[in-house]
Structure 1
Amino acid sequence: MRRLVVDRPPSLAALWSRRIAVFALVVTGIAAALSRLGRIEPAAAVTVLGAGLLMAAVAVALSGVAFVAIWREGRPGFGKALGGLFLAVLLALYPGYLAAQALRLPRLSDVSTDIADPPSFSRSRRALEMRSGHVPPEAPAGLRAAQRSAYPQIQPLVLDLTPQDSFGIVLKAANQRGWQVIESSAPGGRIGAGRLEAIDFSPALRFPEDVTVRLRPTAAGTRIDVRSASRVATHDFGQNARRIAAFLQAVEDLADAR
């Protein structure tokens, strides 16, 4: 006796889960590459990346629907649903890390070693031109207080060197860190202060971020203050504090190596 074998079609939810996840991965990959190459504005990159994450969420939902259909009806497509889920989760790993940082850290986008008198950013024609007219606004006092508790290690650095020697080390450290130095002024004048203006870039998408360094003579040598401000986001996820800490460590290492 012959039995009629009916091939059940694969789950449509599984098929579309993988398709949407692949498309989301391609879209976000292109947006990230264009952002790193400077071929797309940061706001546009954020919009495209947000759309990619939304598509990843849809892919996760569809994979869940597919798993239910496969379990209940015995439909094929488990591998496709699993592939869609894997790609969507892979895409969400870095944003998930940022979300965890956002919950753990205060909503800061401007960090300074001197919270009472933060170094100001230059408004010279060259500095404004290099920053596309952007001048980081002053952070409210409440946020500066939040910085104190979140990043107690972010403090001024005092070197037992002359301001002129310290300025050479600061300039060398900035170049070693890959900063784009846009303006510098060696210590001198009536108060003997010096400064350096630079642009650094975020590690993942290379969004421009602004940095200013101030040098002031002290009885012990030279005090170095650094201020780092994000240009795009309202939450830096700790990036500005890490930038300042790494830079001051590089300055200290160069000073010790003299």
Structure 2
Amino acid sequence: MAAERSRLAAVGYFFGSAGIAVVFIGITGIQIRLLPPIVGFSLFVLGSLVGGLGATLLGSIGMARRKHMPLESDRTRTLKATALGAALLALILLAAGTGGNAPPINDITTDLKNPPAFAPAQEVSAYLERDMSYPAGFIPVVKTHYPELAPFESPLAPKAAYAQALATAKAMGLNLVWQSAEEGRFDATQTTSIFRFVDDFTVRVSASGTGSRIDVRSKSRDGQGDMGANAKRINDFLSRL
């Protein structure tokens, strides 16, 4: 029985330690460009979820039997397993919580009838072998979850509005990858700090009455959901305008 309790403490501690190691490898691998963002993120989820659940479950069982463990080292290991498990689960819950109730889509725009197009693939190599068209299935989802998104009506003439939009994008820290002042369009990217996911961002400025209309589109390169990041970026951009 004592040996069984000792194994329980050891396995729980292993789950917690292994989970921390996998999370560290995932994030560090992304930061030093050794792992693609989606691979590093998958390791983060795997380490946090599997390691967290395993360590918390076994640690909790061990805590309930802690007073029957003859060795102080086993009691300490059980306590550490529970703490590591709780920390790992807190990480995954924190990451999931940033998206709130965001729908599982990754392409958002202010113009669902005529979404702004990204530059031709021959102009931006990152678009090669990628479908940059707007998914028709996302349209009703955006209408339901992001009803506040709408084109920005500017009193400025198109050229002045374009210059303002370009300056706003740069002020947000977006990286410009293509522009056409003649067409009133430009493309940019934004990279997240921890997982280094890259999102594509395009702006279209057109004449509207005596002023201009500014439409925006933001699209994630990885994953099926964006945890609300694209809508947040668009709202940030429009509010700055």
TM class by smaller structure? 0.7 to 0.9
Amino acid corresponding to residue 86 of structure 1 in structure 2: A
Distance 2:224 2:120 in 1: 22
Which residue matches 2:135? Answer: 139
**Are 2:218 and 1:213 equivalent residues in the alignment?**
no
Over the aligned positions, Cα root-mean-square deviation in angstroms equals 2.6
- The runs of 5 or more residues in structure 2 that have no matched partner are none
Which residue matches 2:21? Answer: 26
Shift of 1:37: 4.1
**Are 2:144 and 1:149 equivalent residues in the alignment?**
yes
Amino acid corresponding to residue 222 of structure 1 in structure 2: S
Amino acid corresponding to residue 61 of structure 2 in structure 1: V
- The runs of 5 or more residues in structure 1 that have no matched partner are 1-6, 253-258
Which residue matches 1:4? Answer: none
Percent same amino acid among aligned pairs? 23
- Is the Cα contact below 8 Å between 1:159 and 1:220 reproduced in 2? no
- Is the Cα contact below 8 Å between 2:108 and 2:142 reproduced in 1? yes
Task: Say if 1:132 and 1:48 are closer, same or farther in 2 by CA, change over 3 A.
Answer: farther
**Are 2:89 and 1:92 equivalent residues in the alignment?**
yes
After superposition, residues 1-258 of structure 1 pair within 5 angstroms as 11-53=6-48, 54-71=50-67, 76=72, 77-99=74-96, 104-127=101-124, 129-131=125-127, 133-141=129-137, 143-186=138-181, 188=182, 193-250=183-240, 252=241
Amino acid corresponding to residue 140 of structure 2 in structure 1: A
Amino acid corresponding to residue 166 of structure 2 in structure 1: L
Amino acid corresponding to residue 64 of structure 1 in structure 2: S
2:180 alignment partner, SS class: strand
- Is the Cα contact below 8 Å between 1:102 and 1:235 reproduced in 2? no
Task: Say if 1:91 and 1:8 are closer, same or farther in 2 by CA, change over 3 A.
Answer: closer
Shift of 1:212: 0.9
Task: Say if 1:81 and 1:29 are closer, same or farther in 2 by CA, change over 3 A.
Answer: same
Larger Rg: 1
Distance 1:247 1:91 in 2: 34
User: How high is the TM-score relative to the length of structure 2?
Assistant: 0.86
Aligned residues: 238
